Amino acid sequence: MDLSEINPVLLIASLMVAATPLLLAAIGELVVEKAGVLNLGVEGMMIIGAICGFAITVETGSTLFGFVAAAVGGAVLSLLFVLLTQVALANQVASGLALTLFGLGLSALMGQSYVGVKPPSTPELNIPWLSDLPVVGPILFSHDLVLYFGIGLIAVVWAVLKYTRLGLILRAVGENHDAAHALGYKVIRIRVLAIMFGGACAGLGGAYISLVRVPQWTEGMTAGIGWIALALVVFASWKPWRVLLGAYLFGGITVLQLNLQAAGVAIPVEYLAMSPYIITILVLVILSADKSGAPASLGRIFHASH
Amino acid sequence: MIVLEKRPQPSQAWSLATPIVAVLATMFFGGLLFAALGKNPVESIMTIFWEPLFGEFSFYYRPQLLVKGAPLVLIAIGLSLGFKAGIWNIGAEGQYIMGAIVGAGVGLAFYPLEAWYIFPLMVIGGALGGWAWAMIPAFLKVRFGTNEILVSLMLVYVAEQMLASVSLGLLKNPEGFGFPGSRNFQSYASAYNAELIEGSGMHWGVVAALIAVIFAYVLLNRHMLGFHIRLTGEAPRAARFAGVNPARLILFCLGLAGALAGLAGLFEVSGPSGQITIDFNVGYGFTAIIVAFLGRLHPVGILLAGSLMALTYIGGEIAQSELGLPAAAIQVFQGMLLFFLLAFDLLTNYRLRLALKEVA
| Domains detected in chain A | 3-119+144-287 (1.10.3470.10)
Question: Given this model, what pLDDT does residue A131 score?
Answer: 66
Q: How far is A83 from chain B (nearest CA, A)?
A: 8
Q: Do A106 and B335 touch (CB under 8 A)?
A: yes
Query: Across the strands, what pairs with B3?
Result: B353
Task: Phi first, then psi: give them for residue B5, nearest 5 degrees.
Answer: -125, 125
Enumerate residues 152 to 211 of chain A having a beta carbon within 8 A of any beta carbon in chain B.
none
Task: Please give the DSSP secondary-structure letter assigned to residue A213.
Answer: I
**The residue type at B80:** S
Interface check B282 vs A, CB under 8 A: no
Q: What are the pLDDT tens digits along chain B (360 aa)?
A: 677 777 778 778 887 888 888 888 888 988 888 888 888 888 888 888 888 888 777 778 888 888 889 999 999 999 999 998 888 898 899 999 999 999 988 888 887 877 788 888 889 999 999 999 999 999 998 888 888 888 998 899 899 889 988 888 887 777 777 777 777 777 777 777 777 777 777 788 888 889 999 998 998 888 888 888 888 888 888 888 888 888 888 899 999 999 999 999 999 888 888 788 888 778 888 889 889 988 888 899 899 989 988 888 888 888 888 887 887 888 888 888 888 888 888 788 788 777 666 555
Interface check A279 vs B, CB under 8 A: no
Distance, CA of B37 to CA of A34 (rounded, Å): 39
Interface check B6 vs A, CB under 8 A: yes
Collapsed DSSP state (helix, strand, coil) of residue B6: strand
**The residue type at B236:** P
Distance, CA of A30 to CA of B141 (rounded, Å): 22
Q: Do A90 and B342 touch (CB under 8 A)?
A: yes
Task: Choose among A98, A77, A43, A30: nearest CA to A222.
Answer: A43
Which residues have C-beta within 8 Å of that of residue A275, sequence separation ≥ 6? A253, A257
Q: How far is A134 from chain B (nearest CA, A)?
A: 38
Q: Do B328 and A270 touch (CB under 8 A)?
A: no
Longest Cα–Cα distance in chain A: 66
Q: Do A97 and B90 touch (CB under 8 A)?
A: yes
Mutate to test the interface with A, among B14, B153, B352, B353 (most CBs of A within 10 A): B153
Task: Choose among A56, A82, A80, A79: nearest CA to A206.
Answer: A56
> Which of chain A's residues have a Cβ under 8 Å away from the Cβ of B158?
274, 277-278
Which residues have C-beta within 8 Å of that of residue B24, sequence separation ≥ 6? none
What is the gyration radius of the CA atoms in chain B, in angstroms? 22
Task: Please give the DSSP secondary-structure letter assigned to residue A302.
Answer: -
Burial bucket for residue B243 (CB in 10 Å: 0-12, 13-18, 19+):
exposed
Distance, CA of A252 to CA of A11 (rounded, Å): 8
Distance, CA of A143 to CA of A9 (rounded, Å): 13
Interface check B147 vs A, CB under 8 A: yes
Q: Do A277 and B158 touch (CB under 8 A)?
A: yes
Enumerate residues 40 to 69 of chain A having a beta carbon within 8 A of any beta carbon in chain B.
40
Buried b (16+ CB within 10 A) or exposed e, B36-75: ebebebeebbebbbebbeebeeeeebbbbbbbbbbbbbbb
Parse chain B into domains and list their residue ranges. 65-303
Give the ipTM. 0.84
Q: Chain B residue with minimal CA distance to A223?
A: B157
Question: Given this model, what pLDDT does residue B258 score?
Answer: 94
Task: Choose among A273, A280, A212, A165: nearest CA to A24.
Answer: A212
DSSP A60-76: HS-HHHHHHHHHHHHHH
Mutate to test the interface with A, among B7, B44, B150, B287 (most CBs of A within 10 A): B150
The total of other beta-carbon atoms located within 10 Å of residue B317's CB is 19
Which residues have C-beta within 8 Å of that of residue B188, sequence separation ≥ 6? B107, B111, B112
Question: Given this model, what pLDDT does residue A27 score?
Answer: 93
Q: Chain B residue with minimal CA distance to A182?
A: B360
- Give how far the C-alpha of residue B265 lies from the chain's centroid of Cα atoms, to the nearest Å: 11
Question: Given this model, what pLDDT does residue A38 score?
Answer: 87
Q: Which of A84, A101, A268 has the CB atom closest to B286's CB atom? A: A101
Asked if residue A123 has a cis previous peptide bond (ω within 30° of 0), the answer is: no
Give start and end residues of each alpha helix (H) in A83-175.
92-110, 136, 145-163, 165-175
Query: Across the strands, what pairs with B5?
Result: B351
> Which of chain B's residues have a Cβ under 8 Å away from the Cβ of A108?
326-328, 331
A85-B216-B123-B281 Cα dihedral, nearest 10 degrees? -20
Q: Do B144 and A219 touch (CB under 8 A)?
A: no
Distance, CA of B211 to CA of B229 (rounded, Å): 20
| Positive/negative CA dihedral, B236, B346, A85, A174 | negative
Interface check B326 vs A, CB under 8 A: yes
Task: Please give the DSSP secondary-structure letter assigned to residue A121.
Answer: P
Which residues have C-beta within 8 Å of that of residue A186, sequence separation ≥ 6? none
Distance, CA of A109 to CA of A220 (rounded, Å): 11
Q: Do B342 and A83 touch (CB under 8 A)?
A: no
Question: In the A/B pair of chains, how many CB contacts fall below 8 A?
Answer: 136
Interface check B27 vs A, CB under 8 A: no
Distance, CA of B95 to CA of B285 (rounded, Å): 8
Q: Do B338 and A288 touch (CB under 8 A)?
A: no
pLDDT one-digit tens code per residue, A162-196: 899 888 888 888 888 888 888 888 888 888 999 99
Q: Do B153 and A112 touch (CB under 8 A)?
A: no
> Which of chain B's residues have a Cβ under 8 Å away from the Cβ of A101?
286, 289-290, 331, 334-335, 338
The total of other beta-carbon atoms located within 10 Å of residue B112's CB is 9
Q: Do A289 and B144 touch (CB under 8 A)?
A: yes
H or E stretch including A265? none
H or E stretch including B351? strand B350-354
Interface check B275 vs A, CB under 8 A: no
Q: Do A281 and B140 touch (CB under 8 A)?
A: yes
Question: Given this model, what pLDDT does residue B57 score?
Answer: 78
* Between A292 and B162, the higher pLDDT residue: B162
Lowest mean pLDDT segment, chosen from A49-63, A205-219, A285-299, B133-147: A285-299
Task: Choose among A243, A189, A202, A223: nearest CA to A96.
Answer: A202
Question: Given this model, what pLDDT does residue A2 score?
Answer: 59
CA dist list (Å): B90 to A1, A22, B153, B270, B288: 38, 21, 6, 24, 9
Q: Do A112 and B332 touch (CB under 8 A)?
A: no
Mutate to test the interface with A, among B149, B162, B279 (most CBs of A within 10 A): B149
Question: Given this model, what pLDDT does residue A291 score?
Answer: 66
Q: Chain B residue with minimal CA distance to A110?
A: B328
Buried b (16+ CB within 10 A) or exposed e, A194-206: bbbbbbbbbbbbb
> Which of chain A's residues have a Cβ under 8 Å away from the Cβ of B332?
102, 105-106, 109
Q: Kindly report the length of chain A.
A: 306
Which residues have C-beta within 8 Å of that of residue B348, sequence separation ≥ 6? B7, B10, B11, B14, B15, B18
Q: Which of B136, B326, B343 has the CB atom closest to A109's CB atom? A: B326
Task: Choose among B45, B51, B246: nearest CA to B141.
Answer: B246
Task: Choose among B234, B259, B229: nearest CA to B246.
Answer: B229
